[in-house]
A = this chain, B = another copy of it.
Amino acid sequence: MGKIEEFQRERDRLNALVLSRANLEIKRFFSLDSQVYRGGSIPVKYKELLGLVASLVLRCDDCVTYHIIRCHREGISREEFNEAMAIALVVGGSITIPHLRRAYDAWEELQRTSP
C-alpha cells in the first residue's frame, strides 16, 4: 500500500470517528469546508490550487496531500503544479521546504500509480 492510499484510509477512519462523535457546530464546519471548493465563478481546478497553496504556506502535510490528490484528479499539469509550488515557496519561505519536498513525493506517487 502506497503512502497516498495509507493517508486516505487513515483520513477516512478518523473522519468517520469525528463525525460520529462531534456536535452540530463541528459538523457544520465540515460541511462548509466542502462547499467552498465547489465550482463557481472560479473553476474547481483553481480552487484546489488555492487550497494547495494555502496548505503549503501554513505547513500542513495532510492538507497538502489532500489537495494534491484533488489537483491530480482535476488534471493539473506538472507546469501548473510547479508554478503554484513556486508561489507558495516564495510566500512562505524556506521553512516550507520540508513540506514542499513531501509534496513532490506525493505528486510523483500519483503520477506513477494513476497517470
Contacts and interface: CB of A to CB of B under 8 A. Distances in A.
Interface of A: 11, 14-15, 17-18, 21-23, 25-26, 28-30, 32-33, 35-37, 40-42, 46-47, 49-51, 53-55, 57-63, 77-80, 82-98, 100-102, 104-105, 107-108
Given A29-B94, A57-B93, A90-B93, 8 more contacts: A25-B89, A36-B83, A36-B87, A37-B87, A47-B87, A58-B91, A63-B94, A63-B98
Given A92-B93, A94-B90, A79 B15 contact: no
Contacts of A53: 50, 53-54
9 contacts: A18-B104, A22-B82, A26-B85, A26-B100, A28-B32, A29-B86, A46-B49, A57-B57, A90-B93
